[in-house]
Amino acid sequence: MSTVSADLVIVANRLPVDRVEQADGTPGWRTSPGGLVTAIEPVMRANDGTWIGWPGGTDADLEPFEADGMKLVPMSMTPEEIEGHYEGFSNATLWPLYHDLVAKPEFHREWWDSYVAVNRRFAEKAAELASEGATVWVHDYQMQLVPQMLRELRPDLRIGFYLHIPFPPAELFQQLPWRRQLLEGLLGADMVGFQLPGGAQNFVRLVRQRVGHKTHRDLVYLPDGRTVRAAAFPISIDAAGFEEMARSEPVAARAAEIREALGNPRKVFLGIDRLDYTKGIYARLRAFAELIEDGHFDVEDAVFVQVAVPSREQVEQYRILRDEIDRLVGRINGDLGRIGRPAISYLHSSYPREEMAALYRSADVMVVTPYRDGMNLVAKEYVACRFEDTGALVLSEFAGAADELRQAWLVNPYDINGMKSALLEAYRADDRETRRRMKAMRKTVTQNDVAAWADAFMADLAEVPGSHGKAVRP
Ligand code: GDG
């Protein structure tokens, strides 16, 4: 396939498919259920796109293949690269640094070397596959050097970059020994997209201070005459798809079954997160437990279902967190539970999308309390599934989603007493109040779905002045 060229190339750390074993025992591929795939699939189809990414694992070079009509180009990663680029620099340096130093970022020169090497390999592959004047859309913090490397190889391309996580303020970013290289890496793009305007402003300010380029509002002027635009494109979900799933008969039946299995408590609280220290799982469970201890409600009245999806299990901080949560849940249930009535129903597992929809449908209070989060799709998915305008959302002010979902019970996740009050208010809120809030939030989520996000990004990318490539249809 390397002789075939593409008018649209997506570059991301991961491919949009998961490896699965088929009925006959041979390996096959299944489209992974994330929002990103739903978002990009229509753009890929309209433009006969090609997606470059790592399929997971350490298999040596796999051949390009098609899955669900998408052209996929798997990039292999050696165990050393997984350790240095993925677990190391991406997830133990950049991830905590970009999330307000919730954990301490580690700086290791070998990790950086590995990050550079992997970015170069991805850039070279994109350069090989992109047709003359093609558009290349690079995704997320694992790939921040790709735009510049790619531009050096292929000045004819139109390059867009989108960061899914927050872009930190200068005061934090400054710590990074390779701060200038990363900024220059991103400046290889014609447009750099962020979740929120604050991220775009942080970026422009850093470029002015650290790289010394002229800037005006959302534009950076490079010495070679190019312009780079930095702008916000808040990501969203396939809202109609989630609503349809939530309305379906099997999901309704499953939601009823879940409540039954929980002992039909008056209220079901729900948290769904990757098991990540940015998500604030520990503090929220403590807040809930204290409400029971303080006598506001009982384990017969309310149960907290916490789904913690296994994530980055090779990274030390994630193992420590898992142990901490295990211990906390054990202690809370030991102290407060009764036979057949744990205070917290804790699930360390991932589930199919239908099960997620059933959980959203079964929950009266959705609790999303990250210390920092680029957007948080779980909050939007809950809203999309509440087609009867019922249910309360307790949402951290520090999730990107809080910018749009103003009618949630907004909380500061560092303030345990404040969280307790919000959880209690959401628990006690009457139907009129929850309905008013949910209705407004549903309007926001349905009107700004993920297709609108991808369209807006592609349309703006096509219009950045000074770009050499030809436009791609959104
Ligand atoms: C990053 C940014 C930003 C979770 N467990 C299962 C499952 N999920 C799905 C959810 C949701 C997605 O994964 C998680 O997205 P979030 O936005 O909540 O969080 P991150 O993974 O940290 O995502 C974030 C996002 O990128 C997009 O730009 O919003 O801020 O950190 O869609 O439903 N899906 C299935 N089974 C699970 O067990 N099927």
- Only one residue has tokens 């009457």, namely 430
* CA dist., res. 205 & res. 215, Å (int): 8
Q: Which two tokens stand for residue 299?
A: 């384990």
Ligand 1 mean position to 151 CA, how many Å? 31
> Cβ neighbours of residue 203 under 8 Å, at least 6 residues apart?
167, 183, 186, 192, 194, 230
Ligand 1 contact via 350 beta carbon (within 6 Å): yes
pLDDT at res. 375: 97
Ligand 1 mean position to 103 CA, how many Å? 20
Ligand 1 mean position to 1 CA, how many Å? 31
* CA dist., res. 331 & res. 463, Å (int): 56
Print the SS3 string covering 235-304: CCCCHHHHHHHHHCHHHHHHHHHHHHHCCCCCEEEEEEEECCHHHCHHHHHHHHHHHHHCCCCCCCCEEE
* CA dist., res. 384 & res. 322, Å (int): 29
Which residue's CA lies nearest to atom 28 of ligand 1? 164
pLDDT at res. 417: 98
Q: Which two tokens stand for residue 295?
A: 């006598």
Ligand 1 contact via 35 beta carbon (within 6 Å): yes
What pTM was estimated for this model as a whole?
0.96
Per-residue pLDDT tens over the stretch 241-260: 999 999 999 999 999 999 99
Per-residue pLDDT tens over the stretch 45-64: 888 899 999 988 887 778 99
Ligand 1 contact via 33 beta carbon (within 6 Å): yes
In this prediction, the residues of the chain whose per-residue pLDDT falls under 50 are: 1-3
Ligand 1 atom nearest residue 400's Cα: 30
Which residue's CA lies nearest to atom 20 of ligand 1? 376
* CA dist., res. 327 & res. 399, Å (int): 26
Ligand 1 contact via 353 beta carbon (within 6 Å): yes
Which residue's CA lies nearest to atom 33 of ligand 1? 378
The dihedral built from the CA positions of residue 110, 113, 119 and 125, taken in this order, carries a sign that is negative
Bridge partners of residue 346, in order along the sequence: 306
Residue in 349, 376, 377, 396 to alter for ligand 1 test, most ligand atoms within 8 A of Cβ: 377
Residue in 376, 380, 383, 457 to alter for ligand 1 test, most ligand atoms within 8 A of Cβ: 376
* CA dist., res. 127 & res. 119, Å (int): 12
* CA dist., res. 414 & res. 425, Å (int): 18
pLDDT at res. 28: 80
What ipTM was assigned to the predicted interfaces of this complex?
0.98
* Torsion angle in degrees (nearest 10) through CA of 370, 414, 172, 202: 60
The dihedral built from the CA positions of residue 312, 414, 195 and 379, taken in this order, carries a sign that is positive
